[in-house]
């Protein structure tokens, strides 16, 4: 395997494992903010205005099997994040390179 690909393979495998498999074992207890909101009785103020979220609350209903739904959600998430961050930082690097070229 190409050395530079190998360097990226291990971290990528860890990320896929983290996003697609481990969330199955995540605690379903309320998190810090939710716990405080319930304790101080303002949890009811929550109003969801997002009606377009395809993976609302990190789940999807593409199959009847939760394990598969979780894996699909996790892998889709890292694909989206990978896409957006690649675009953002490549644009910044390309603009930076152009600016350097103009000043030289």
Partner 1 sequence: MNTLHKELLTDSLIVHKIKNNIHLIEEVNFMHIPDGFLATPVNITTAVVSAGFIGMALRETYRKIEPEKIKYIVLLTAFIFGAQMINFNILSGTSGHFLGAALAAILFGHWVAILIMSVVLSTQCIFFADGGITALGSNIFNMAIIGSFSAYYVYRFLLKKITGKVLYQYAVYGFSAFVSIVCAAFLCSFELAISGLASPVNIFANMISVHSLIGMAEGIITAGILYVITLYQQKVISV
Binding site for partner 1 (CB under 8 A): 3, 6-8, 10-12, 14-16, 18-19, 22-23, 25-37, 39-42, 45-50, 52-59, 64, 66, 73-74, 76-78, 80-82, 84-86, 88-90, 92-93, 95-97, 99
Nearer to partner 1, 32 or 101 (CB): 32
Buried b (16+ CB within 10 A) or exposed e, 77-103: eeeeeeeeeeeeeeeeeeeeeeeeeee
Look up residue 99 and give its two tokens.
């600016």
Q: Give the nearer residue to partner 1 in terms of CB position, either 3 or 102.
A: 3
CA 50 from centroid of its chain's CA atoms: 17
């Amino acid at each position: 395997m190409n050395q530079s690909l190998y360097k990226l393979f291990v971290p990528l495998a860890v990320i896929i494992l983290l996003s697609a498999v481990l969330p199955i074992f995540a605690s379903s207890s309320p998190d810090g903010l939710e716990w405080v909101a319930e304790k101080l009785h303002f949890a009811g103020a929550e109003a969801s205005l997002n009606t377009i979220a395809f993976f609302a609350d990190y789940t999807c209903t593409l199959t009847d099997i939760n394990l598969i739904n979780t894996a699909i959600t996790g892998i889709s998430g890292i694909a989206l994040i990978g896409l957006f961050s690649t675009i953002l930082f490549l644009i910044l690097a390309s603009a930076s390179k152009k600016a350097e070229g103009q000043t030289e």
